[in-house]
Structure 1
Amino acid sequence: MIHGRGDLRVEELPVPEPGPGEALVAVRYGGVCGSDLHYWRHGGVGDFLLKEPMLLGHEVVGTVLSYGSPAPSAPAAGTAVAVHPATPCGRCPECADGRRHICRDTRYLGSAARLPHVQGGFAARIVVPAGQLRPLPAGLELRRAALAEPLSVALHAVRRAGAVAGRHVLVTGAGPIGCLVVAAARAAGAARITVTDLLPAALEYARVAGADTVVRADDPADAGWPSGAHEVDVAVEASGAAAGLDTCLRLVRRGGVVVQLGMLPPGPTPFAGNLVVSREIELRGALRFDTEFDEALPLLAARPAFDGLVSAVVPVTEAESAFALAADRGRSCKVLLDFGG
């Protein structure tokens, strides 16, 4: 539970009761996301500020225990599942247009975007709509399946970039999302992937994910920088820093595509907008995901190499230590909380 800036607590809560159309899930693992860290460090994410205590967490997997009412199309009790964290309204213009991931009235696990806040999934037992459950494919263990939500974010970003097969892709930022963008671009057939970051440890995780070339972002003399005839075709900005966006705009080819995936700080962000015009660069945003969640699970099942991106599994009783580790990108990639059997 997050109670305010720097006030993270492990508390005893009553076991919730599922209502009609809802499932009770025993959570096994929960991935610590950058937004969880923002709530912990700053008491909010962008304009979404904590106004009441909130359960964090939206990257959760576990086992179905029971339902509040018969759910013939839902996974049977005892099934290992991943939880899709979004419940779009189904009524707004965006939902009607098939873009449910930008629904203006969505409910997202562990989000302070609305009041009362939407409680998250970092609890041993949670209740969620049955329609948000996805059974794990054969061969996919819960530990690796905990990457489904962030991998879905990465898959959506690559989809926003358009066709990447046979192309040179640049990714700025080698945090967990950036590394998963590398894996998603590789799965989509990218011919070459270059990744930049400030931290050598983060760049090593990018290599694990499938990067061909890694570059120190603070070293202009690094021979790995794309240039001239080797300009990139597509760039995905995953650092959430204005400098990363500037790098993408300067290195993408004329007529290329830049996808802004990292959440930039609130307020105005200076960037080389003249290049958007003079090179006719397409600048596209990418937010969350929708059906990509269903694509992430078989991809995770087929590629054991994803295990290398899980840098630590920490008991939930040591949650604050887990958050501190996840915030230290020099020591970690994806950190999971373990809620037990």
Structure 2
Amino acid sequence: MTRSARAFWFKSPGECEIRAAALPARGAEDVLVRTLFSGVSRGTETLVFSGGVPESQYTVMRAPFQEGEFPGPVKYGYLNVGVVEEGPLLGRTVFCLYPHQTRYVVPADAVTLVPGTVPPGRAILAGTVETAVNALWDAAPLVGDRIAVLGAGMIGCSAAAILAKIPGVRLELADPDPSRAAVAEALGVGFTSPERARGDCDLVIHASASEAGLARSLDLLAPEGQVIELSWYGDRRISVPLGENFHSRRLSIRASQVGTVSPARRRSYGERLALALDLLADPAFDALITGESAFDELPAVLPRLAGGQLPALCHRITYS
């Protein structure tokens, strides 16, 4: 029997819509999932909406269950929480790297159980926290380190929330938007502007996706300090100030990207995602969910998120 669902598509740059989707027959090792919540990854999905994914990165940027191709039409997304209605794990709440869709069929090993300690509505942050976990495996912060996080978006806030649990760290979350101070307070992290951030840092996590932010990150480093670059610039070219103190202070910039598990840790993708879900037992992460809309409203909501008329960290989508 062919069953149907409804899915959100990026039709072309600047256009999006909801389409009917036929569900494939479920195999013995597959699960049928009914979506409870999905999350809009604002930075990545607004880049897709605007057509800003460079052609050279079409393969790298491909989501696990993407349909279509960049720049569109493309079904794209990766923050989905639902309940298994058929197959193994029947009745369990699961997280999946699946786009915005009312129901879907995937192999059972493509979903991760949401712990009972984590509300389903918060579990949509798993993919974001997983990115932060990978970045901190790359960074390897130590007890007592002096650390700044520049950029209080979803990734920066997630990294700061985890770093705040390390004993003895001097930690600041910096962003030019003063409204992010309330989020920092909820996470238990000190907040400041990039201009007022304290220097002499052993480590700076940069997630502002701005040229000025990267330059300021280098300014804040102590000798031998390191910037972990988490920003995704799409098709933009940026300048990096490698003059002045960069060589004399032996500074470094290291890329970190969630597509590969950090070689510093011998973990599988599944183990990394399970760890991220365990960390989400902390209710402080609720501060990262700054808005909510129904699935049917998503074609109208996404342009507002992309245009900045609807400020948000993670915008949660609900399904009836």
Q: Match for residue 113 of structure 1?
A: none
**8 Å contact kept, 2:223–2:250:** yes
Question: Residues 131-150 of structure 1 correspond to what in structure 2 (within 5 A)?
Answer: 131-150=109-128
Q: Match for residue 129 of structure 2?
A: 151
Counterpart amino acid of residue 202 in structure 1: R
Q: Match for residue 338 of structure 1?
A: 318
Query: Partners of 1:326 and 1:205 in 2: how far apart?
Result: 18
Query: Partners of 1:269 and 1:233 in 2: how far apart?
Result: 24
**Does the C-alpha gap of structure 1 residues 135 and 179 become closer, same or farther in structure 2, counting only changes over 3 Å?**
same
Q: What is the CA deviation profile of residues 188-210 of structure 1, one whole-angstrom value per residue up to 9, with x for unaligned ones?
A: 44622212222112343233223
TM-score of the aligned structures, taking structure 2 as reference length: 0.82
Q: Match for residue 8 of structure 1?
A: 16
Which structure 1 segments of 5+ residues have no match?
Answer: 86-119
Deviates more, 1:309-318 or 1:188-197: 188-197
Local SS of the residue matching 1:184: helix
Local SS of the residue matching 1:255: strand
Counterpart amino acid of residue 225 in structure 1: A
- What is the aligned-residue RMSD (CA, Å)? 2.2
Q: Does 1:80 align with 2:60?
A: no
**Does the C-alpha gap of structure 1 residues 198 and 14 become closer, same or farther in structure 2, counting only changes over 3 Å?**
same
Q: Match for residue 310 of structure 1?
A: 289
Local SS of the residue matching 1:263: coil
Q: Match for residue 259 of structure 1?
A: 228
Q: Does 1:282 align with 2:259?
A: no
**Does the C-alpha gap of structure 1 residues 41 and 268 become closer, same or farther in structure 2, counting only changes over 3 Å?**
closer
> What is the total number of aligned residue pairs between the two structures?
288
Q: What is the CA deviation profile of residues 213-240 of structure 1, one whole-angstrom value per residue up to 9, with x for unaligned ones?
A: 321x3xx4xxx4214xxx1111011011
Q: Determine which structure has the larger strand proportion and give its number.
A: 2
Q: What is the CA deviation profile of residues 36-82 of structure 1, one whole-angstrom value per residue up to 9, with x for unaligned ones?
A: 11111226367437254222210111111223xxx5xxxx1110011
Q: Match for residue 269 of structure 1?
A: 238
**Does the C-alpha gap of structure 1 residues 300 and 338 become closer, same or farther in structure 2, counting only changes over 3 Å?**
same
**8 Å contact kept, 2:53–2:71:** no
**Does the C-alpha gap of structure 1 residues 321 and 254 become closer, same or farther in structure 2, counting only changes over 3 Å?**
same
Question: Residues 53-92 of structure 1 correspond to what in structure 2 (within 5 A)?
Answer: 53-67=73-87, 76-83=89-96, 85=97
Q: Match for residue 161 of structure 2?
A: 183
Deviates more, 1:21-30 or 1:183-192: 183-192
Query: Partners of 1:307 and 1:238 in 2: how far apart?
Result: 20
**8 Å contact kept, 1:169–1:190:** no
TM-score of the aligned structures, taking structure 1 as reference length: 0.78
Q: What is the CA deviation profile of residues 98-121 of structure 1, one whole-angstrom value per residue up to 9, with x for unaligned ones?
A: xxxxxxxxxxxxxxxxxxxxxx42
Query: Partners of 1:304 and 1:325 in 2: how far apart?
Result: 28
Query: Partners of 1:214 and 1:292 in 2: how far apart?
Result: 30
Counterpart amino acid of residue 81 in structure 1: V
**Does the C-alpha gap of structure 1 residues 22 and 293 become closer, same or farther in structure 2, counting only changes over 3 Å?**
same
**8 Å contact kept, 2:13–2:72:** no
Local SS of the residue matching 2:36: strand
Q: What is the CA deviation profile of residues 127-173 of structure 1, one whole-angstrom value per residue up to 9, with x for unaligned ones?
A: 22321211111221110111111011111112211123321211111
**Does the C-alpha gap of structure 1 residues 335 and 133 become closer, same or farther in structure 2, counting only changes over 3 Å?**
same
Query: Partners of 2:80 and 2:166 in 1: how far apart?
Result: 25
**8 Å contact kept, 2:148–2:197:** no
Query: Partners of 1:44 and 1:19 in 2: how far apart?
Result: 34
Local SS of the residue matching 2:302: helix
**Does the C-alpha gap of structure 1 residues 63 and 190 become closer, same or farther in structure 2, counting only changes over 3 Å?**
farther
**Does the C-alpha gap of structure 1 residues 44 and 264 become closer, same or farther in structure 2, counting only changes over 3 Å?**
closer
Q: What is the CA deviation profile of residues 6-62 of structure 1, one whole-angstrom value per residue up to 9, with x for unaligned ones?
A: 111012222333335432211111110121111112263674372542222101111
Deviates more, 1:304-313 or 1:42-51: 42-51
Query: Partners of 1:292 and 1:282 in 2: how far apart?
Result: 26
**1:3 Cα deviation (Å)?**
1.2
Local SS of the residue matching 2:134: helix
Query: Partners of 1:336 and 1:43 in 2: how far apart?
Result: 23
Counterpart amino acid of residue 39 in structure 1: V
**Does the C-alpha gap of structure 1 residues 37 and 189 become closer, same or farther in structure 2, counting only changes over 3 Å?**
farther
Counterpart amino acid of residue 56 in structure 1: Y
Counterpart amino acid of residue 272 in structure 1: P
